[in-house]
Structure 1
Amino acid sequence: MTNQKTFSSGAGRFDISTAGLHILAMTLMLMDHLWATLLPAQEWLTCAGRLAYPIFAFMAVEGYFHTRSFRKYALRMLVFAVLSEVPFNLMCGGTWFYPVHQNVIWTLLMGLLGVHLLETVRRKQKPALFAAAAVGVILAGAVLGILCMVDYYAVGVLTVLVFYLFRGRAWGCLAGQLLALYWLNVEMLGGLMYPVQLFGVSFEICQQGFALLALVPIWLYRGRQGYHSRWFQYFCYAFYPVHMLVLALALQFLNR
């Protein structure tokens, strides 16, 4: 999407690098998983953890546009999706084999396959064909997300597609991201509600709605890569299965 009026960054304004977003997302994910395993009474941890997935989805799309080879990018994600499955099963189901829920890298990979298909169609410069393909990919992504029981189900796959379809810093793109994430997280996922009183007015806040706060660091990203090296790249990939394995083993040890 394009828009004449853009959310531009001035010289010297604060921004967050690619590396910074990865570290922030990993930290938030760790907080959520600590709540899910070792610290279930600390509910604020999972509230903070709601921000992690939209950042990962956003960075997956950015990675697509910055990679030299989508095939290698997808293959790398596939390898780590497979490596992460047993640690994920141990953490979520307490068993090596847990077929009713798949780890989040599968979710990101499914979304990226949809992005790749849409980007291939877009290059043909036929708007009607792209619109039809977008509808088809959105429907197929939602259905496959549910049937394959990947983490975040349909919402997870659609979140990746949102950051592709509304990619950019135009005001229309930012508004699209906000409205789409609100619909996905609040209207579709819903979940636990927190009663709040402010200035004598009572209302409720949806826990999954905290995911919308992920747009703050996302919008502070302006394309700067920051620190980058081969070891850091693989650290970011390896962090997912390794931290889940450590948490699962720690939980089993404490439950003995």
Structure 2
Amino acid sequence: MNETRHFDLSAAALHIIAMTFMLMDHLWATLLPAQEWLTCVGRLAFPIFAFMTVEGYFHTHDLRKYLRRMLVFALLSEIPFDLMYGGTWFYPVHQNVIWTLLLGLLGIHRMEKARKNQKRALYVLTVVLVVVLGAVLGTLGMVDYYGAGVLTMFVFYLFRGRKWWCFLGQLLALYWVNVELLSGLMYPVHILGTEIELCQQGLALLALIPIWIYRGRQGYHSRPFQYACYAFYPVHMLGLVMALNFVNR
């Protein structure tokens, strides 16, 4: 029997792609501020991390360990993040992105518990309350990407799947989150004699391409690789801070 082969990306590949895009964004924020194309590419990183975190929720064998592991790395990452973004050991007005992912996970867990009760009205009410509360807490907590980042997590939860309406829902919802809520720098682009404005944050929608190519395959997996992915976040930020201090001497 002939098997139809599809090109796809594994979970491991998606993690590596997201880490690469994040590194490019942070290089722009520290050592290479003139290279604005780096942060444009970097816009793709967070949606991939958000998607993979949601997938992690459904594939983990122990949710408590998953949450505990993320909490530990959120704490470990806070000082490197503060040094990179605030230039100080304590920068309370902006928290690292793992806190964003943690808030999203807690909200998803609450919605999943309501869904499993098989009471549709209760589930819908819970979704509405969790979405609103998640956006508010993300904004008040000043986590990375604020409430919009938490909403990105919920988008990948509510439109999880490979049906056409899941793809459409992800596309439309992420357009609203990135272009309408986050917005940001606009680039004038000329097409066929007409000038239109392209939203830099809207480039995050391109992250859906590798996300849609992913079909659930794990790929390379080991405990050292898993922890290396977690450790990459604080370690690379600390490395960039050290490099920036060396250059500015």
> Does TM, normalized by the shorter one, top 0.5?
yes
- Residue 180 of structure 1: CA displacement? 0.4
**What's the secondary structure of 1:197's corresponding residue?**
strand
1:125 maps onto 2:118 in alignment? yes
Distance in 2 between residues matched to 1:89 and 1:248, nearest whole Å: 10
1:19 maps to which residue?
12
- Post-superposition CA distance 1:192-249 (Å, at most 9, x none): 0111111222111000000000000000000000000010000000000000000011
Distance 1:199 1:80 in 2: 48
| Distance in structure 1 (CA, Å) of the matches to 2:24 and 2:177 | 22
Match of 1:235 in 2: 228
CA distance in 1, matches of 2:39, 2:62: 35
2-side partners of 1:45 and 1:240: how far apart?
A: 17
Report SS of the residue matched to 1:204: strand
Structure 1 CA distance for aligned equivalents of residues 101 and 9 of structure 2: 22
Q: Given the alignment of the two structures, is residue 90 of structure 1 paired with residue 83 of structure 2, yes or no?
A: yes
Partner Cα distance (1:139, 1:104) in 2? 19
Look up the SS of the partner of 2:181 in the other structure: helix
How many Å separate the matches in 2 of 1:48 and 1:22?
15
Residue 47 of structure 1 deviates from its aligned partner by: 0.2
What corresponds to 1:63 in structure 2?
56
Determine the C-alpha separation between the residues in 2 that align with 1:181 and 1:11: 31
Which of 151, 167, 173 pairs up with 1:158?
151
| 1:51 and 2:44 correspond | yes
Indicate yes or no: 2:96 matched with 1:103.
Answer: yes
Aligned residues: 247
Gaps (5+ residues) in structure 1?
1-9
Residue 5 (structure 1) aligns with: none
Separation in structure 1 between the aligned mates of residue 52 and residue 161 of structure 2, nearest angstrom: 13
Name stretches of at least 5 consecutive residues in structure 2 with no aligned partner: none
Please give the residue correspondences for 1:211-222 in structure 2 after superposition, counting only pairs within 5 Å.
211-222=204-215
Counterpart residue number, 2:168: 175
Give TM-score scaled by structure 1 length: 0.95
Which amino acid in 2 is paired with 1:132? Answer: L
Q: Which has the higher contact order (CA 8 A, sep 6+)?
A: 1
**Alignment-derived partner of residue 25 in structure 2:** 32
2:219 matches 1:226: yes
Which of 200, 203, 216 in structure 1 is aligned with 2:196? 203
User: Aligned equivalents of 2:32 and 2:13: distance in 1?
Assistant: 26
Q: Which residue of 2 aligns with 1:252?
A: 245
Partner of 1:187: 180
Instruction: Name the residue aligned to 1:3.
Output: none
Residue 136 (str. 1) matches residue 129 (str. 2): yes
Q: 1:43 and 1:127 mapped to 2: Cα distance?
A: 47
Q: What is the TM-score with the length of structure 2 in the denominator?
A: 0.98
**TM-aligned CA deviation for residue 11 of structure 1:** 2.2
RMSD: 0.8
Structure 1 runs (4+) deviating above 4 angstroms are none
